[in-house]
Structure 1
Amino acid sequence: MELTVYLAGQIHDDWRETIKQEAAKRDLPIEFVGPQTVHERSDSIGEDILGEQPGKLFRDDAASSINNFRTQVLLQKSDAVIALFGENYKQWNTAMDASAAIQLRKPLILIRPESLIHPLKELSNQANVTVETYDQAIDVLSYIYE
């Protein structure tokens, strides 16, 4: 049985590759999907499809509509979601994706460091599982196959 897992979280480092590599090491039959990780593409997709916009607000709105469309389709097709909250970046998109997963009743694994226990307490309470490391998240997925 192959699972599709949506990887929600910041796009500024290679944490997704770490998750994918660990899953591959364990021979887990998982397809990973997620947001557009090429920042420039994500920011310009509205104008790339709809043409030049009359200002920054309209440019961001056009890009947001298309990025939200992509996220909604991929979240709905996913069997589970991993949402990473780290300490280095603002996590608005991660919170939005995690909340959408909860609303769609998608099983949610939340990864967050100990320092974010308090600010994420409500979201963590709604997740199926909250862990602190990538390995723990993969352990949870591995358990499905035992």
Structure 2
Amino acid sequence: MELTVYLAGQIHDNWRSELKNKAKQMELPIHFVGPMENHDRSDNIGQEIKGEQPSAIFKDEAASEINNLRTQVLLNKSDVVIALFGENYKQWNSAMDAGTAIALQKPLILIRPESLHHPLKEIANKAQVVVETEEQALKALSYIFETN
């Protein structure tokens, strides 16, 4: 058995690469998917597909359409969603992806520092697992594969 895991969260650092490397070291049979990690491509994809837009607002709207298509398809195909919330970046996309996972009844693992307990309490209440580190999230996933 292999799981497909959607990695929701900010795209401004390499947390996904680190998590994937740790999963590989643990020999977990997991296929990871997620949002477009190339920020410029994500911001410009609407214009690349639909053509030049008349303003920055329309450019953002066009990009959002294509990014939301990608997210919906990949979330629907996922077995589990991991949503990472950290201290350094605004987390609107993480919250949207976590909410979508909840609405789709996808199992959700929420990673957040203790300092974000209060602002994330409603999402945490709907998640199957709430942890503080990527390692803890991977250990929770590894438990799925244990037979004894």
TM range (shorter): over 0.9
Which residue matches 1:59?
A: 59
C-alpha distance after superposition, 1:13-50 (max 9, x if no partner): 00001110111001111000000000000000000000
Which residue matches 2:45?
A: 45
The alpha-carbon deviation at position 97 of structure 1 amounts to 0.1
Q: Which ranges of structure 2 fall in alignment gaps of 5 or more residues?
A: none
Which residue matches 2:126?
A: 126
Q: Distance in 2 between matches of 1:106 and 1:92?
A: 19
Q: Distance in 1 between matches of 2:26 and 2:145?
A: 11
| TM-score scaled by length of structure 2 | 0.98
Q: Distance in 2 between matches of 1:142 and 1:2?
A: 11
Q: Which ranges of structure 1 fall in alignment gaps of 5 or more residues?
A: none
Which residue matches 1:28?
A: 28
Q: Distance in 1 between matches of 2:10 and 2:138?
A: 18
Amino acid across the alignment from 1:49: I
C-alpha distance after superposition, 1:56-103 (max 9, x if no partner): 110000000000000000000000000000000000000000000000
Report the number of matched residues: 146
C-alpha distance after superposition, 1:90-143 (max 9, x if no partner): 000000000000000000000000100001001100000000001000000000
Which residue matches 1:98?
A: 98
Q: Is 1:12 paired with 2:8?
A: no
| C-alpha RMSD over aligned residues | 0.4
